[in-house]
Chain A
Amino acid sequence: MYSLVDVHKRYGLRTVALRKLNLDIRPGEFFVLYGPAGAGKSTILNLLAGLTRPTSGDVRRDGASITHLPPERRNAAMAFENYALYSHLTVAENLAFPLRAAGVRPAEIEVRVKSVAGVLGIPHVLDRRPGFLSGGQRQRVALGRAIIRPADIYLLDEPIGHLDAKLRHRMRAELKALAVDMKATIVFTTTSSKEALALGDRIGILNAGRLEQAGTAAELYDRPANTFVASFVGDPPMSFLNVSVRPAEGGPALVTGDGQSIGKAPSGALGRGGLKAGVRSTALTLVDPGTPGALAGQVEVVEHLGHSSIAVVLSGTDHIQVLLPADARLRPGERVGLRVDPTRLHIFADETALATDAA
């Protein structure tokens, strides 16, 4: 198991890459680091690889500190975001490089290179130099060079981010199958939430150098720790309503900005101002306008996705995304009612962005 313990990383005097970060990566798991650009994903990979050292805190492996272990003694394999291919070597030589460095016999190197090139769909470019490859091909060579030798941990920095959509889909499946095959510990970074959810056994969500939450896709989906996490998992993302607590018959209720009640207020929400109610598109049902107990709203935009559509409904001042069956015929401007499932509301105190335990 790899652990980052209270890791703080600063570049220069001003730039803080990671803030007091704690993270465990379990043996054999496919761990995905998700976050926007500059969130600190690559820094974590570099720390695990030994390419950089934490400003404070510890990097551990099975409990023992490896903070000062140089990269060549960590048995880690890494695919770099900028590919880092050796332009003076052919693709085959690039793939063979880690094996040569490890002193593998030439005959075996050839077999392994061919097999990896086959898996990645690049056997026809083995004799070329990286300068003559497309971006997608280069990225696959970079990935191949990382997975060609057995390593204790594979660090993949956005390894399929530059592929076109179709190829990315295929590589995603290949990678997942490969991970299961190799029983390898993999840390993978991405800026795509779909990719994170599709690949990760567990996902760590990073934002501005902080680990917002780490867990399985289901955990992140069901119990998001804050609005940042909540808006990341799920497609369409969770919609947020600005709500406040008002006294009502049968206990305090959550009320939207224009006075519509959406359900009982949970005990944790009492006495707190500036609340947000997160609601997933699946927790909403479209009903006739004017239905009692339903939110009134007006359709703004309808996006057709093929198998379904997403309608953006303006209710008061809040925009709500609703998932609709493909045959739903809604037009912009139409008035609708939305029934909210009160048991599937996520309540956040918006300044601290913490879950306050939905009712």
Chain B
Amino acid sequence: MQRKTSVVVEILRYGAIFLVLGFFVFPIFWMVLTSFKPEEAIMVSPPRFFFTPTTENYVHALHDKNFLFYIKNTLIISVISTAIVVAFGSLAAYSFARYNVGDGHILFFILSTKMMPAIAVILPYFLIFRDVGKTAVGKSLHLGLDQHGALIVSYVMFNLPFAIWLLVSFFQDIPRSLEHSARLDGLSRIQVLRRVTFPLAAPGIAVTAVFTLIFCWNEFLFAYILTRKAASTVTVGVESFFTLQGILWGPVAAAATISVAPMLIFVLVMQRYMVRGLTFGAVRG
């Protein structure tokens, strides 16, 4: 009897898993499928699962629309933004976690900058970057409209608070005695950070980097308003497929698939660190 019940439970469990998985994976599956469909097979009803695959959508996206240009922009902007966010975020989070800087008030204030919707600040940002871009400093740092610097600054502004909050808890989880022990072994404060604290916080830093990069990669509003062509990112690139003649669904799917690929690879690489963090994270018990 016991055995039978557990078999039923197993079947139900796997059924539930497939259901949930299907729910999340199907849109991606459909996107990839669509990207290989000839134009006439895309919008038909009922939807078709079997067709003669074609690469014409990829040719259109990569060749006619030069989509790699958007990928390059996105890569530059996201990677630099993420690097800045992680570097400053870790240092800020460390001091919040260890020295309780501002007694919690500053930490809360930082979060409060996330409380308004991005749309509320987009106009001021537009005006600021327009004017800053005309100054000497703004020119040298590419901070003007339709320049990479403007988007990087915006993304750092919007991701840093979240990154700090995420990292503070990771640093709090590292017992002080680990740092104390290293101090006693003769390391200075800075050496302790480099050789003990940051290696131990690596999983948390990896998680933060992944989140930040994903946010930057997928951001649309700022990219749409602050760029026109030269610094446009993939989301804006895909949008440009919505033409007056109609939406080019095939190329859109191909471009979207190309945009997702680097993120997928990056997350898979980082996953190793994140999982390792979970397995080896038994600092205390």
Contact = CB atoms under 8 A, between A and B. Distances in A.
B280 A87 contact: yes
A285 to B, nearest CB: 50
Interface in A42-73: 46, 49-51, 70-72
A97 B185 contact: yes
B175 interface: yes
Contact of A78 (B181, B196, B200): B181
A183 to B, nearest CB: 20
A131 interface: yes
Nearest to A133: B282
B104 interface: no
Given A80-B177, A84-B175, A88-B200, A131 B184 contact: no
A59 to B, nearest CB: 15
Contacts of A70: 183
A72 B183 contact: yes
A76 interface: yes
B22 interface: no
Nearest to A52: B180
A341 to B, nearest CB: 48
A131 B281 contact: yes
Contact of A72 (B177, B188, B199, B202): B188
Interface in B263-285: 279-284
A17 B183 CA distance: 23
Contact of B180 (A49, A97, A130, A145): A49
A74 to B, nearest CB: 7
Contact of A84 (B177, B187, B199, B279): B177
B181 A145 contact: yes
Nearest to B199: A88
B205 to A, nearest CB: 12
A182 interface: no
B186 interface: yes
B178 interface: yes
B197 to A, nearest CB: 10
A74 B281 CA distance: 30
B182 interface: yes
B178 A102 contact: no
B280 A72 contact: no
A87 B283 CA distance: 6
Contacts of A149: 185
A88 B202 contact: yes
A291 to B, nearest CB: 57
Interface string B70-89: 00000000000000000000
Contacts of A75: 186
A101 B279 CA distance: 27
Contacts of B279: 131
B172 to A, nearest CB: 15
A98 B185 contact: yes
Contacts of A131: 279-282
Contacts of B202: 88
Interface string A77-91: 110101011111000
Given A82-B284, A87-B283, A71 B183 contact: yes
A86 B178 contact: yes
A114 interface: no
A116 to B, nearest CB: 15
Contacts of A246: none
Contacts of A168: none
A129 interface: yes
B180 A101 contact: no
Nearest to A98: B185
Given A72-B188, A80-B177, A130-B282, A101 B182 contact: yes
Contacts of A78: 180-181, 184
Contact of A101 (B175, B178, B187, B200): B187
A72 B178 contact: no
A97 B182 contact: yes
Nearest to B201: A88
Given A130-B282, A131-B279, A131-B281, A86 B200 contact: yes
Interface string B205-238: 0000000000000000000000000000000000
Contacts of B188: 72
Interface in B17-48: none
A86 B196 contact: yes
A145 B280 CA distance: 19
Nearest to B200: A88
Interface string A96-117: 0110011000000000000000
Contacts of A71: 180, 183-184
Nearest to B282: A131
A98 B180 CA distance: 12
A87 B180 contact: no
Contacts of A76: 184
Residue of B183, B199, B281 most packed against chain A (CB within 10 A): B183
B51 to A, nearest CB: 51
Given A88-B199, A88-B202, A74 B184 contact: yes
A153 to B, nearest CB: 10
A76 B185 CA distance: 8
Contacts of A97: 182, 185
A317 B47 CA distance: 92
Given A84-B178, A86-B200, A87-B200, A72 B184 contact: yes
| A-B CB proximity, top 10 nearest | A84-B177, A131-B282, A98-B185, A71-B183, A101-B185, A80-B177, A84-B181, A88-B199, A131-B280, A87-B283
16 contacts: A72-B185, A72-B187, A72-B188, A76-B184, A78-B181, A80-B181, A82-B175, A82-B284, A84-B175, A84-B181, A86-B200, A87-B281, A130-B283, A131-B281, A131-B282, A149-B185
Given A72-B183, A129-B280, A131-B279, 8 more contacts: A49-B180, A49-B184, A71-B184, A78-B181, A88-B199, A131-B280, A145-B181, A149-B185
